């Protein structure tokens, strides 16, 4: 079985869900005739037509709001953002409306919308196009946040997100779309993966590297180098979902290795890893043989300079250095 690239896995999931449910539609900037800014929707407009794959104007507040309204009436919109940074101009719709409607209607109105697109730095597109807002959305009750690291997970989790009756914000990474390290063998038979279930990507005994999104790939590469050069056997836990968060998996790996390094492309202040560190401190403190350490993006707006930005986001050397600090 040949490996499937991350972008092709997403494309297959979208294609299958368009066929699975007539209420599924794709809406976003350049998703139709142009085949998507990152070619994730390539071929879907030609196959499914204007009513199922719809180009939107450059007005995120407008078309995200329209999608939320449509989802309240039974449509299952999949909204593509060219960058998740652009979600900031639709915060009222995405947080104040999508997250609260089911609660405020006493459970009578669902909002089965998916908003997907890249949420990452590392591509030298400047500070206003490089945000990783999974922590901001995960802070809001009523929202689900998914950050897959591999093509296999992206495929199965996107199908589940589209079928979910709550709003799911599905955050990808531009660098993963064509990265062979994120490619996976995917069975021909369709499948889904449950939201909120983490996955051990590498078994280990000496330290737990806990990560999500592209940071999982970085953690895996660091783990291989630690094994080869230092004889340190690192376990890599892929969170896959930020909310719901698989706390049981986090506590289980910490109880196994007794050391944890959290790898997270968020900024350090109030980031995802800060929440995980608090969870470990509160619920697994007695299992720790060393402090919980973090590798995050350096706390500044995304740096435009390519060599400096590579140092700003988590990289293999920074992860290894942090592991070695544990002693």
Q: What is the mean pLDDT of residues 113-134?
A: 95
Interior CA angle at 114 toward 220 and 67, to 5°?
A: 155
pLDDT tens per residue across span 181-207: 999 999 999 999 999 999 999 999 999
For the chain, give every domain's residue range.
3-185, 199-325
pLDDT for residue 305 is more than 80: yes
Q: What is the pLDDT of residues 30-68, one digit of tens each?
A: 999 999 999 999 999 999 999 999 999 999 999 999 999
pTM of this prediction exceeds 0.85: yes
Closest CA to 173 of 86, 78, 50, 265: 265
* Alpha carbon distance 137, 270 (integer Å): 12
Distance CA 133, CA 112 (A): 20
Q: Report the candidate in 207, 211, 240, 237 with the shortest Cα–Cα distance to residue 321.
A: 207
pLDDT for res 90: 96
Position 164 scores a pLDDT of 98
- pLDDT > 90 fraction of the chain, expressed in percent and rounded: 99
Average pLDDT over residues 78-95: 95
Q: Which residue has the tokens 């930005």?
A: 309
CATH of domain 199-325: 3.40.50.920
- Contact status, residue 173 vs residue 5, Cβ threshold 8 Å: no
Tally of CB atoms within 10 A around 270: 11
Q: Given this structure, which CATH class describes domain 3-185?
A: alpha beta
Helix axes 214-230, 316-325, angle to 10 degrees: 60
Residue 106: C-alpha distances to residues 101, 137, 143 (Å) = 9, 22, 16
**Contacts of residue 95, Cβ cutoff 8 Å, sequence gap at least 6:** 137, 140, 143
Catalytic sites, residue numbers: 60, 129
Q: What are phi and psi of 271, to 5 degrees?
A: -80, 180
Which range of 14-23, 124-133, 303-312 scores highest in mean pLDDT? It is 14-23
Closest by alpha carbon to 178, among 38, 31, 311? 38
d(CA 52, CA 8): 19
The whole-number pLDDT of residue 2 equals: 84
Using only C-alpha atoms, what is the Rg of the chain? 19
Compute the mean pLDDT over every residue in the chain, rounded to the nearest whole number. 96
């Amino acid at each position: 079985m040949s490996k499937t690239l991350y972008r092709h896995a997403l494309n297959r999931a979208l294609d299958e869900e368009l066929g699975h449910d007539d209420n599924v539609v794709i809406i976003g900037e350049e998703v139709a005739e142009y085949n998507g800014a990152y070619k994730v929707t390539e071929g879907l407009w030609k196959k499914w037509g204007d009513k199922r794959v719809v180009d939107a104007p450059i007005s995120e507040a407008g078309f995200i709001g329209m999608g939320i309204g449509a989802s309240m009436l039974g449509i299952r919109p999949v909204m593509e953002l060219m960058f998740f940074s652009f979600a900031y101009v639709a915060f009222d719709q995405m947080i104040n409306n999508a997250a609260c409607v089911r609660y405020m209607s006493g459970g009578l109105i669902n909002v089965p919308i998916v908003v997907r697109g890249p949420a990452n730095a590392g591509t030298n597109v400047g500070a206003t196009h490089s945000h990783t807002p999974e922590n901001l959305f995960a802070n809001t009750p009523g929202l689900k946040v998914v950050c897959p690291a591999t093509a296999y997970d992206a495929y199965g989790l996107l199908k589940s997100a589209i079928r979910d009756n709550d709003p799911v914000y599905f955050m990808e990474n531009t660098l993963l779309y064509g990265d062979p390290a994120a490619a996976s063998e995917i069975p021909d038979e369709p499948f889904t993966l449950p939201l909120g279930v983490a996955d051990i990507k590498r078994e280990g005994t000496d330290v737990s590297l806990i990560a999500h999104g592209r940071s999982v790939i970085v953690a895996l590469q660091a783990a291989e180098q630690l094994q080869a050069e230092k004889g340190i056997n690192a376990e890599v836990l892929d969170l896959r979902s930020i909310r719901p968060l698989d706390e049981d998996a986090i506590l289980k790996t910490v109880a196994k290795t007794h050391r944890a390094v959290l790898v997270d492309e968020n900024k350090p202040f109030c980031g995802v890893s800060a929440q995980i560190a608090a969870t470990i401190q509160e619920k697994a403190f007695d299992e720790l043989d060393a402090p919980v350490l973090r590798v995050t993006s350096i706390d500044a707006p995304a740096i435009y300079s390519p060599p400096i930005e590579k140092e700003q986001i988590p990289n293999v050397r920074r992860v290894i250095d942090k592991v070695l600090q544990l002693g």
